Amino acid sequence: MPTTALVWMRRDLRLSDNPALEGARQRCERIIPVYIHSPDEEAPWQPGAASRWWLHHSLEALHHALQERGSRLIIRRGDSLGALRALAREAGATEVHWNRCYEPAATERDSRIKAALRAEGLWCASYNGLLCNEPWTLKTGQDAPYRVFTPYWRQLAPRLAQQPPPTPAPAALPPISDTLERLDVDALALQPTIPWDQGLREQWRPGEAGALERLSRFVSDGLDHYAEARDLPAVEGTSRLSPHLHFGELSPRQVIEQVQAGRPDPELSEPYLRELGWREFSYQLLYHFPQTPAEPLDPRFAAFPWRSEDADSLLAAWQQGRTGIPIVDAGMRELWQTGWMHNRVRMIVASLLTKNLRQPWQQGARWFWDTLVDADLANNTQGWQWSAGCGADAAPYFRIFNPVRQGERFDPQGGYVRRWCPELHRLPDKLIHQPWQASETEREACGVRLGRDYPWPIVDLKASRAEALAAYDQIKRGGSATRARS
């Protein structure tokens, strides 16, 4: 009788370079790919709205890719352990294979499931399909996890060049009996009930084929200029591979292989590979400090005096791209319409929220979690704690981005602002990032009525910077955790 394996797919929605799929194929004649929708098991970080949209289309793409190879994706819903048990009984499976996840809730669940299935006689194996080096592999000389990126990168960089080559997708897979029931992707209700996703559909092609196409295009057209163009939000200077990596439609080994093959000169490849290194660094931090999605890594910041006065209105203005600070509003509108935001702009909007508006970084992290198609717990947490100054290798507390200067430096012709804040498009370059500095005559000539067409700034940048520095000084001196009123 042929042996049968379940391949439990989660953050590895691809057929090429999939260690769990390859492991199952080497041991068993029959392979049953299965996806179990169990968002409550990821609490309190269930997928947000933009992630659910992406997941719907990625699952559809995976199912079609499996059908082309003679198989199909079995979709179930509910308790993962119960679903795996039931499917193993129905299919006569004796093995379960999966690629590891590293979020706190997922690692606890997976350990529990592996122990339970093994106790019932099922052979279980888990693999690394998400990272180049797993979070526990690199340690400091004191056998501790790294909290500073540069020494971590010195250890990681040589290992990237030593990665085994990625494995190709199987040309064919064994058929799966029609008697095995599967849910349709639509039954998971991942799509929005109100059609707000047009911008996402215009920008993205979820799925493995879309990921490989985007990677190839970036290596051929974007990698040579990445070091200079990655900070310019008005141009497509980044790879935009982050959602594909998050959902596992692409493995980091595939990215490394193409980048190094396409541009073997380290001066061209290293700036981009460092970004993969930051991704690995973020996963290491999340694994070793699982409290950080909700709590600052630097415990002093638990006492930071966040602003309480007008907190709700300040947060809402930031979320809606109505702060009156053009580069910030452009970024927040790009996020709302496309599910993505340029990385330089992510730092600018995060700095404004946590420092000038003095609103908790957790509020920003939650908003990004719901609206980003690449919402990733490790990267989201590290990014927000870095911006707020309370994480590992964080920006110094006194580094407060001036959004006007940032806009003038990285969007000097104002193309990014004009695209996402079209009400300002007639302003000259010298005023596009600070329309409040234009005279009333200049604003009238450009059709800009502050307070009507576009808001006045909701915060004084100079005064709020001074207040933020005073707040940081308070926690340095062991001040109270009381939220400030102004």
Residue 5 has pLDDT above 60, yes or no: yes
**Is 480's pLDDT higher than 50?**
no
Annotated active-site residue 336? The verdict is no
Give yes or no: residues 344 and 330 share one domain: yes
Given 343, 402, 423, 436, the catalytic residue = 343
For residue 20, what are the domain limits?
A: 4-130
Residue 310 shares a structural domain with residue 444: yes
Q: Is 249 a catalytic residue?
A: no
User: What is the domain-level CATH number for residue 309?
Assistant: 1.10.579.10
Mean pLDDT over residues 245-262, rounded?
Answer: 95
Residue 409 in contact with residue 401, Cβ under 8 Å?
A: no
Q: Are residues 274 and 155 in the same domain?
A: yes
Identify the domain boundary among 265, 288, 311. 288
Model pLDDT, residue 474: 87
**Mean pLDDT of all residues belonging to the chain:** 95
Task: Report the binding-site residues.
Answer: 226, 238-242, 272, 374-376
The pLDDT score that the predictor gives to residue 486 is 43
- Catalytic residue, candidates 128, 270, 278, 442: 278
Active site (annotated) includes residue 456: no
Are the C-beta atoms of 395 and 387 separated by less than 8 Å?
Answer: yes
278 falls within a domain? yes
For 120-156, what is each residue's pLDDT tens digit?
Answer: 999 999 999 999 999 999 999 999 999 999 999 999 9
Domains held by the chain: number = 3
Query: Phi-psi category of 194—alpha, beta or left, where left has phi over 0 and alpha has psi -120 to 50?
Result: beta
Q: 54, 384, 386, 420: which one is catalytic?
A: 384
The pair of structure tokens assigned to 35 is 């996806």
Summarised one tens digit per residue, pLDDT across range 291-329 is: 999 999 999 999 999 999 999 999 999 999 999 999 999
Active-site residue, from 318, 361, 367, 369: 361
Q: Name the pLDDT band for 395 (thresholds 50, 70, 90).
A: low
458 and 311 in one domain? yes
Asked if residue 108 belongs to a domain, the reply is yes
Same structural domain, 17 and 97: yes
Which of 398-402, 407-411, 446-450 is least confident? 398-402
**One-letter identity of residue 382:** Q
CA distance 308 to 461: 18
For the entire predicted model, the pTM comes to 0.95
Tell me: pLDDT of 484 over 80.
Answer: no
pLDDT(396) > 80: no
As annotated, the binding site for FAD includes 226, 238-242, 272, 374-376
Residues 6+ apart with CB under 8 A from 312: none
Q: How far apart are CA 346 and CA 343, in angstroms?
A: 5
What is the Cα–Cα distance from 196 to 443, expressed in whole angstroms? 32
Helices (H), 78-173: 80-91, 104-119, 149-160
pLDDT at 422 over 90: yes
Q: Which of 90, 257, 275, 442 is catalytic?
A: 275
- The more confidently predicted of residues 398 and 183 is 183
Q: What span, in angstroms and rounded, lies between the C-alpha atoms of 450 and 436? A: 8
Query: For the segment 188-231, what is each residue's pLDDT rounded down to a tens digit?
Result: 999 999 989 999 999 999 999 999 999 999 999 999 999 999 99
- For this structure, is 402 an active site residue? no
